[in-house]
Every structure is written in C-alpha cells, then in structure tokens.
C-alpha cells in the first residue's frame, strides 16, 4: 500500500542585475493529490521578456490541468506567434505515492538531490516556436529528497558538497540560497525548491 508524503515547495526569482522585472516565471499550484510545479525561462530579459512571463504565470495558475504534457502543450499554444518563445520544465508530484512526472523543453534544469541524485532531461527546442514530441520521465520520491527546478541563470555545476546546509534548510531558504550562491548576475535567475517529508 502506498504511503502518502508531505510536499513543501517555495520559489525565488531574481532579475538580471540592473533590471526591475525578470523574464523567468515560477508557478507552484496545489491540487487534491499533490503539486504542479512549473519553471519557465522566456527568451531574453528585460521588460518585454517580463511581460511574457506574467502572461505565462497567469495561464499556468488558472489552468486546472495536472498532466505535464497537457500543460506543456497549452503553454506552447499560448506562445505560438509571439515574439518570444521560452524554455520550460513542468512537474506533477503525487502526495499519495511520491511519484514525480516531468516534461521539459529547452535549458531549464530539474534535479533530485539527497540519497539518490537524478537529473531529469529536457528535450531541445523552444516552447511556442519549435518543440518535438513531449518525453515524460518519472521518478519515485522518498522522504528527505530535495527537488530543484531552475533556469540557466543558475550555474548547473553544484551539488550538496557545495551547499552543506541544503539537507536541513526549508524550501524557502533552499530557493533563496541556490540563487544567492549559484545565480549569475548577467541573467535572470529562478529556482523552485521542493522537499519531501513523511
């Protein structure tokens, strides 16, 4: 019999140095059996990219879909014909059994840290412009696991050895510290941190 888990998540977005708004969007949406988590990086930065990111966030927050493929298809349709496409990673996590389903296109990153380290792979492409068929991946999460989704404004070359307090930090602190420690000043940077507990 599946044992339910507790899902705690938080997000942090930091605009490029000198900019007022970011072209990154982070959405955490609860549903009856879990969470939908979306990380989107609009092409470029500045006011135009920020305006597109606001539209994306509104769309993802209004949607009632929980299937990552359906959400990604909807996002692709939303951005079709716009001047800016995006990279995106979308997860759906069930609190009932700890299953995480992931679909990604472009250069957003998704990683599990703790007892097992796993990188979820995003396919090449630009959402809203040119993407291939979705490739859904799934992993089973366990209490203690940390899942991070982040944009390419965060360096991808870090692990728990570089951030020893990760195992005890809250999701809010995790998202904040990943940006502060590994974010790039010359780009928008965003991170969503998810912690699995019993």
pLDDT tens-digit series, residues 165-195: 666 788 999 999 999 989 998 999 999 999 9
pTM assigned to the model: 0.93
Handedness of CA 14, 89, 173, 159 (dihedral sign): negative
pLDDT value of residue 5: 75
The CA distance from 147 to 141, in Å, is 9
Identify which of 195, 168, 43 has the alpha carbon closest to the alpha carbon of residue 106. 43
């Amino acid at each position: 019999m599946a044992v339910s888990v507790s899902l705690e998540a938080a997000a942090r977005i930091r605009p490029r140095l000198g900019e007022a708004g970011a072209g990154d969007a982070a959405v955490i949406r609860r549903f009856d059996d879990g969470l939908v988590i979306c990380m989107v990086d609009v092409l470029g930065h500045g006011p135009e990219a920020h305006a597109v990111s606001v539209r994306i966030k509104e769309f993802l927050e209004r949607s009632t879909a929980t299937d990552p493929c359906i959400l990604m298809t909807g996002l692709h349709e939303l951005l079709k014909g716009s001047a800016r496409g995006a990279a995106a990673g979308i997860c759906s996590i069930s609190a009932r059994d700890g299953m995480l389903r992931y679909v990604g296109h472009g250069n957003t990153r998704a990683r599990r840290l703790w007892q097992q380290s796993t990188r979820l792979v995003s396919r090449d492409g630009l959402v809203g412009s040119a993407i291939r068929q979705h490739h859904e991946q799934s992993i089973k999460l366990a209490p203690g696991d940390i899942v991070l989704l982040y944009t390419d404004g965060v360096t991808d070359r870090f692990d728990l050895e570089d951030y020893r307090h990760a195992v005890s930090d809250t999701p809010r602190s995790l998202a904040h510290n990943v940006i502060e420690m590994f974010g790039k000043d010359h780009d928008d940077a965003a991170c969503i941190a998810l912690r699995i507990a019993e």
